[in-house]
């Protein structure tokens, strides 16, 4: 309830992680229930808000955030959680409203929820953005840029959380007796029990982790430092950089560290990665992951990526590869981060694009001639993707070239003609996203 309250009152990124920090240690089944309830509440937020207005004297956004959270949680549970008796859901919601607010709020919640039970509302007359759960201005902008039907199809298919995906690290492959090829059949192993691995959608370095009721931290493979959670799309920027042993890499927006750790494995002990991030707490988390995974060829630097790096941090001649996985609107991840559905793209876009341009320009300064510059985002918004790359190249005035990505494409992606054609021009856009993965964008440029 506190997490949802915060999501309604402000922009919260990664509500799931926030919920984890608030849940008491206990039954994993209760934790899974809480996560499922939060997810469905965030996905259905705009729809439920519109329907609740039919029973309330005030719009949901004008109510106190705790009362709005009580109502939203209750109607989510009534509609989605078959194991919860209706009377128990209403009674618990009323009790929470009384405990967190006052008797008047409890009575207000009781009246609305009991009327909801008596007269279940019909959503057929709601606007598309309400039924599909995307902020209205964002829905309009994306429909204009990407096509209304494509956006609707995407939203209709993004109603469930994506499966948990890992990167097949060398220690994990060795621990499980795997070769170097992609996982092709389900795999059970004592180091994963009771979890198992399933084949990925397209990345040969990935596998889907089916936990089977266990907590991730309970798995032997996790405790041994073999297991790292990283989505398939998030593995693409480093994969498409074509890293070689001994190369030097700058990761300019590094935390929480997935790409830096992936790059460190690719360049090996003779190479190295400088991981830069502006947020101390996120950089500390990266350091913890490095320690758990026993990664030794990554150096950390707390700094705004737009600022000039200390000369001692830059290798003589420059880096071989610079990764700019820029902050973005995150719209490619709404299946995993449903709180992103409520982002107002019109209000945030200009600031994000300015930041992305500045980071890309800053990163480009540290490359040696012939070095590769990777720009990536987890959004599907063309203005933050193709638009930023186009502006960068225009300002660079011929000192860069686009790299053909086709030789580096995973076979499952290379099979798509649209993706192959874009890859020939140095860009990969996962739009619409392959079923079961997030939307993403990657561009690869070479300094002349």
Integer Rg of the chain from CA: 23
**What letters, b where the CB count within 10 A reaches 16 and e where it falls short, cover 407-426?**
ebbbebbbeeeebeebbeeb
**CA nearest neighbour of 161 among 346, 19, 24, 283:** 19
Cα-flanking dihedrals φ and ψ of residue 273, to 5°?
-130, 130
- Asked if 397 and 440 count as a contact pair (C-beta separation under 8 A), the reply is no
Active site includes 378?
yes
Q: Contact at 8 Å (CB) between 170 and 405?
A: no
Say if CB 262 and CB 290 are below 8 A apart. Answer: no
Backbone angles phi, psi at 335, to 5 degrees: -70, -35
Please check whether residue 4 is in contact with residue 39, taking contact to mean a CB–CB distance below 8 angstroms: no
Confirm if 427 and 402 have CB atoms less than 8 A apart. Answer: yes
363 close to 303: Cβ distance less than 8 angstroms: no
What CA–CA distances, in Å, run from 291 to 261, 302, 446? 11, 17, 33
CB 175 within 8 A of CB 224: yes
Exactly one of 226, 253, 328, 378 is catalytic; which is it?
A: 378
What three-state secondary structure class fits 377? Answer: strand
* Residues annotated as catalytic (active site), given as ranges: 378
């Amino acid at each position: 309830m506190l997490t949802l309250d915060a999501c309604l009152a402000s922009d919260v990124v990664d509500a799931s992680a926030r919920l984890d920090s608030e849940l008491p240690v206990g039954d994993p089944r209760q934790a899974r229930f809480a996560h499922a309830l939060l997810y469905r509440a965030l996905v259905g937020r705009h729809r439920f808000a519109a329907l609740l207005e039919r029973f309330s004297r005030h719009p949901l956004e004008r109510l106190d955030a705790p009362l709005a959270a009580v109502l939203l949680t209750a109607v989510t549970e009534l509609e989605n959680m078959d194991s919860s008796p209706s009377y128990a859901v209403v009674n618990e919601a009323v009790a929470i409203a009384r405990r967190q607010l006052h008797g008047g709020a409890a009575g207000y919640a009781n009246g609305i929820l009991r009327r909801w039970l008596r007269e279940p509302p019909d959503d057929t007359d709601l606007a598309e953005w309400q039924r599909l759960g995307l902020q209205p201005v964002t829905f309009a902008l994306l429909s204009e840029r990407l096509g209304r039907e494509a956006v609707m199809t995407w939203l209709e298919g993004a109603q469930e959380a994506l499966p948990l995906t890992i990167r097949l690290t060398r220690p994990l492959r060795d621990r499980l007796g795997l070769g170097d090829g992609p996982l092709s059949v389900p795999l059970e192993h004592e180091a994963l029990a009771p979890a198992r691995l399933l084949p990925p959608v397209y990345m040969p370095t990935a596998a889907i982790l089916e936990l089977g009721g266990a907590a991730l931290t309970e798995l032997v493979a996790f405790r041994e430092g073999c297991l790292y959670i990283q989505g398939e799309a998030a593995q693409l920027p480093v994969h498409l950089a074509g890293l070689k042993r001994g190369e030097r890499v700058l990761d300019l927006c590094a935390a929480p560290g997935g790409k830096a750790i992936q790059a460190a494995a690719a360049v090996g002990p003779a190479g190295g990665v400088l991981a830069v991030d502006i947020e101390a707490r996120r950089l500390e988390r990266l350091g913890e992951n490095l320690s758990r995974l026993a990664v030794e060829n990554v150096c950390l630097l707390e700094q705004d990526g737009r600022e000039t790096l200390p000369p001692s941090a830059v290798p003589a001649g420059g880096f071989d590869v610079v990764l700019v996985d820029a902050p973005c609107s995150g719209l490619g991840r709404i299946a995993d981060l449903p709180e992103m559905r409520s982002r107002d793209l019109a209000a945030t876009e200009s600031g994000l694009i300015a930041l992305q341009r500045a980071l890309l320009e800053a990163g480009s300064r540290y490359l040696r001639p012939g070095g590769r510059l990777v720009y990536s985002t987890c959004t599907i918004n063309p203005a933050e993707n193709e638009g930023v790359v186009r502006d960068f190249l225009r300002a660079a005035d011929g000192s860069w070239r686009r790299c053909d990505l086709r030789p580096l494409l995973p076979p499952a992606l290379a099979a798509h003609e649209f993706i192959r054609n874009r890859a020939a021009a140095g860009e990969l856009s996962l739009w619409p996203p392959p079923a079961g993965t997030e939307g993403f964008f990657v561009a690869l440029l070479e300094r002349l």
